[in-house]
């Protein structure tokens, strides 16, 4: 579908790509990687035709439909988001407008036997076929499923686009692309504004997507889950691997070892040849030998060492002043906005040294809960901090609080006190602001650079309770790994919100999951927890069930008297089994709540309480699977009776 042939591109006199060639087919799901400035986003724009190569060519097969999701976009549209998505396919909209025009003419004209009237009937048939072939009849249903998968509620589908923030508008733009089902999807950081559950939904969707995908992302788990091919842009060349990101890293490291060894051997060979040339060049008897060595060096294909992006944060959080055993105590905490309840009657304790991952869909109250903890929003009930607790808070919009008129150095120097002021340059160097980089204005920094600078400010005081709201935004994969290691080594207490599964997995020792206006506590690793988490909300289930019921109803004939009798018997049995399962669920949920109360109070003698809690949760997960099975059986039997 797409091919680059001997392609070169120059920016400002520098060569970005040098004589590169690559072919992309319909089966490819490609992760595009490379250090910042390597030209990843530029490569997508070359495919789109936004840039033209200086040499060679980029060829896209005729008729190939390509859709592109940039990193940022802001819409002023006043259309409802469901209409925005339904009307995203221009070709379908044109067909629909023409169908309406023809139907209007057919209803008003009376020259039934004229050639133009008959031609119009033929056109109507052709347009209806084209509309059906392109999925026009299913577009509204598809739009609803995709928007809900990306986190929108039923009520939000009918709100104007311009009422949503930039992050939510990006979700709408992504939905518009997915509903169009182009031959090629170009996605530049599509997970930036998604919560974990929406990322999981998108990952499953893209994995089954029938077209080609070229994806730029700093989310390792997402890359591994979607891609089957990795292309690295490095040293003006493309390196192509038929594997996902993690396997590419292994293979690339092996190649680099071989490349360095070959480079060293070649350098030795060159040094030997040059020494012999200098030795024999002036001797007439050896001049021809020296000339042959010179020609050999001229023809030699010199090995270049690829530039590996070895830059990464290098830091540890300062050793905190010890806090008391009890870090925070929450008693009957509730929070509402107007008529919307966010939390109701929350009761639990946070103990010293806990590393907590706060998880939940966007809009469920993660950032609100954090603002309650740090005293930035009002609430009902009591949140009491323990003895000597000192909170270090990294807000989701922390980078927006940076003074853009200051330099990087001034930003840190203004808040540094005591002996730390003498170390400002060293501290900045560990955050990749070495030399002249420290004198850059904050206004010219990239998103990732601003995040690094905001994290640097957090290091200036030895906090013993870190509350981090999306600290990985805009950080590259390597920097995320370094931040993860720093938090793991940190001896204080941590509460962190992040949509990056790889970052959270292995970092936290417990999960606070927001659902049903409450916070449930789990003791799994994040990856294990998410694998067992129900993937559809109740509204999603309802939508899918209704769509399934419509299809089944079309295909199902009315049952005979004997068949109906049999179906009713099976339905009664399934409902009886469902009742037994619901009783088990109620009992297990009651037992879990009792354990949570014990753990939250800190009144336990043995760590066995955590093992028992995990066993109860595993039993509940297994029983929930039975509940879903009987629910599907009952739905199907009711459809057969309807």
pLDDT by residue (tens digit) across 256-282?
788 888 888 888 888 888 888 887 777
The two counts, helices (H) then strands (E), for the chain are 20, 18
pLDDT at 29: 95
pLDDT at 550: 45
For residue 492, what are the domain limits? 326-523
pLDDT at 605: 67
Q: How many domains does the chain contain in total?
A: 2
Q: Check if the beta carbon of residue 495 is closer than 8 Å to that of residue 422.
A: no
Residue 539, pLDDT > 60, answer no
pLDDT band for position 497 (cuts 50, 70, 90): very high
Q: What percent of the chain has pLDDT over 90?
A: 23
pLDDT band for position 313 (cuts 50, 70, 90): low
- Between residues 313 and 496, which one has the greater pLDDT? 496
Q: Is the pTM of this model over 0.75?
A: no
Residue 586 within any structural domain of the chain: yes
Q: Which of 463, 499, 242, 248 is nearest to 358 (CA)?
A: 499
For 571-627, write each residue's pLDDT tens digit: 888 888 888 888 888 888 888 878 777 776 666 666 677 778 778 877 877 787 777
Q: Which of 486, 530, 526, 520 is nearest to 616 (CA)?
A: 520
* 405 and 509 belong to one structural domain: yes
pLDDT at 407: 92
- Between residues 334 and 259, which one has the greater pLDDT? 334
The DSSP output letter for 317 is P
| Range 274-294 average pLDDT | 79
Q: Roughly what angle, to the nearest 10 degrees, separates helices 447-458 and 477-489?
A: 10
* 510 and 573 belong to one structural domain: no
* 514 and 376 belong to one structural domain: yes
Euclidean distance between CA atoms 414 and 93, whole angstroms: 56
pLDDT band for position 115 (cuts 50, 70, 90): confident
- Between residues 480 and 7, which one has the greater pLDDT? 7
pLDDT at 560: 67
* 548 and 507 belong to one structural domain: no
Residue 544, pLDDT > 70, answer no
Residue 315 within any structural domain of the chain: no
Torsional sign, CA 168, 172, 173, 177: positive
| Range 155-166 average pLDDT | 85
pLDDT band for position 337 (cuts 50, 70, 90): confident
Q: Check if the beta carbon of residue 374 is closer than 8 Å to that of residue 391.
A: yes
Residue 316, pLDDT > 80, answer no
Q: How far is CA 125 from CA 105, 119, 134, 144, 182, in A?
A: 15, 10, 14, 28, 24
Residue 305 within any structural domain of the chain: no
Residue 339 within any structural domain of the chain: yes
* 509 and 548 belong to one structural domain: no
CATH of the domain at 442: 3.40.50.300
For 164-219, write each residue's pLDDT tens digit: 877 788 889 899 999 888 899 999 989 887 888 888 889 989 998 989 999 999 89
* 569 and 462 belong to one structural domain: no
- Between residues 611 and 437, which one has the greater pLDDT? 437
Residue 162 within any structural domain of the chain: no
pLDDT at 459: 77
For 342-398, write each residue's pLDDT tens digit: 899 999 899 999 999 999 888 788 989 999 999 999 999 999 999 999 999 998 888
| Range 92-116 average pLDDT | 82
| Range 5-23 average pLDDT | 88
Q: What percent of the chain has pLDDT over 70?
A: 91
For 218-234, write each residue's pLDDT tens digit: 899 999 999 999 999 98
Residue 43 within any structural domain of the chain: no
Q: CA Rg, the chain, in Å?
A: 31
- Residues in CB range of 629: below 8 A, 6 or more apart: none
Residue 126 within any structural domain of the chain: no
Residue 538, pLDDT > 50, answer no
* 464 and 382 belong to one structural domain: yes
In sequence order, what DSSP letters do the residues of 121-149 get, joined into one string?
HHHHHHHHHHHHHTTGGGHHHHHHHHHHH
- Supply the mean pLDDT for the chain: 83
Euclidean distance between CA atoms 120 and 102, whole angstroms: 7
* 482 and 558 belong to one structural domain: no
* 403 and 493 belong to one structural domain: yes
| Domain end call among 491, 523, 555 | 523
Q: Check if the beta carbon of residue 233 is closer than 8 Å to that of residue 45.
A: no
* 371 and 423 belong to one structural domain: yes
- Residues in CB range of 432: below 8 A, 6 or more apart: 311, 312, 313, 449, 452
Residue 417 within any structural domain of the chain: yes
- Residues in CB range of 362: below 8 A, 6 or more apart: 151, 194, 195, 198
| Range 30-40 average pLDDT | 85
pLDDT band for position 24 (cuts 50, 70, 90): very high
């Amino acid at each position: 579908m797409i091919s680059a042939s001997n392609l070169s591109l120059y920016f400002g006199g520098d060569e970005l790509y040098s004589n590169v060639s690559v072919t992309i087919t319909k089966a490819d799901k490609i992760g595009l990687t490379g250090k910042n400035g390597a030209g990843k986003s530029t490569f997508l724009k070359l495919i789109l035709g936004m840039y033209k190569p200086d040499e060679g060519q980029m060829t896209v097969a005729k008729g190939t439909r390509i859709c592109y999701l940039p990193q940022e976009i802001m819409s002023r549209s006043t259309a409802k988001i469901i209409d925005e998505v339904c009307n995203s396919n221009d070709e379908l909209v044109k067909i629909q407008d023409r169908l309406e025009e023809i139907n209007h003419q057919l209803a008003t004209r009376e020259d039934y036997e004229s050639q133009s009237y008959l031609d119009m009937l033929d056109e109507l048939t052709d347009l209806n076929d084209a509309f059906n072939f392109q999925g026009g009849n299913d577009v509204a249903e598809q739009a609803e499923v995709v928007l809900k998968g990306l986190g929108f509620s039923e009520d939000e589908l009918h709100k104007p686009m311009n009422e949503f923030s930039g992050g939510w508008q990006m979700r709408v733009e992504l939905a518009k692309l997915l509903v169009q089902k182009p031959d090629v999807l170009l996605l530049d950081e599509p997970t930036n504004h998604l919560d974990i559950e929406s990322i999981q939904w998108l990952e499953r969707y893209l994995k089954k997507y029938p077209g080609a995908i070229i994806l730029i992302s700093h989310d390792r788990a997402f890359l591994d889950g979607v891609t089957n091919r990795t292309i690295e842009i490095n040293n003006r060349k493309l390196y192509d691997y038929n594997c996902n990101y993690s396997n590419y890293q292994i293979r690339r490291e092996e190649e680099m070892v071989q490349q360095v060894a070959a480079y060293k051997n070649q350098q030795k060979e060159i040094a030997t040849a040059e020494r012999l040339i200098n030795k024999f060049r002036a001797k007439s008897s050896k001049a021809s030998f020296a000339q042959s060595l010179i020609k050999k060096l001229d023809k030699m294909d010199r090995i270049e060492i690829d530039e590996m992006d070895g830059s990464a944060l290098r830091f540890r959080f300062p050793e905190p002043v010890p806090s008391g055993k009890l870090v925070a105590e929450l008693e009957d905490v509730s929070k509402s906005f107007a008529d919307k309840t966010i939390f109701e009657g929350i009761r639990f304790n946070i103990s010293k040294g806990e590393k907590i991952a706060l998880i939940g869909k966007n809009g469920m109250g993660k950032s609100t809960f954090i603002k309650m903890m740090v005293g930035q929003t009002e609430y009902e009930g009591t949140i009491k901090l323990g003895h000597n607790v000192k909170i270090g808070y990294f807000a989701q919009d922390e980078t927006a609080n940076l003074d853009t008129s200051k330099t990087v150095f001034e930003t840190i120097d203004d808040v540094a006190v005591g002996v730390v002021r003498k170390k400002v340059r060293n501290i900045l160097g560990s955050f990749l602001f070495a030399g002249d980089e420290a004198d850059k204005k904050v206004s010219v920094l990239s998103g990732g650079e601003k995040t690094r600078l905001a994290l640097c400010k957090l290091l200036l005081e030895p906090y013993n309770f870190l509350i981090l709201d999306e600290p990985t935004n805009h950080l590259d994969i390597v920097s995320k790994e370094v931040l993860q290691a720093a938090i793991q080594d940190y001896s204080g207490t941590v509460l962190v919100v992040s949509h990056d599964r790889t970052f959270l997995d292995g970092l936290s020792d417990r999960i606070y999951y927001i659902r049903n206006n409450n916070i449930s506590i789990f003791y799994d690793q994040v990856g294990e927890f998410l694998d067992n988490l129900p993937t559809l909300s109740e509204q999603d289930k309802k939508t899918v069930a209704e769509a399934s019921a419509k299809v089944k109803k079309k295909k199902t004939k009315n049952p005979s008297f004997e068949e109906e009798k049999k179906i009713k018997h099976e339905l009664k049995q399934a409902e009886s089994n469902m009742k037994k399962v619901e009783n088990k669920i109620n009992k297990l949920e009651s037992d879990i709540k009792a354990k949570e109360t014990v753990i939250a109070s800190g009144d336990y003698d043995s760590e066995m309480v955590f093992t028992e809690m995990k066993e109860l949760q595993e039993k509940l997960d297994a029983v929930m699977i039975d509940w879903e099975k009987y629910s599907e059986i009952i739905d199907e039997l009711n459809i057969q009776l309807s």
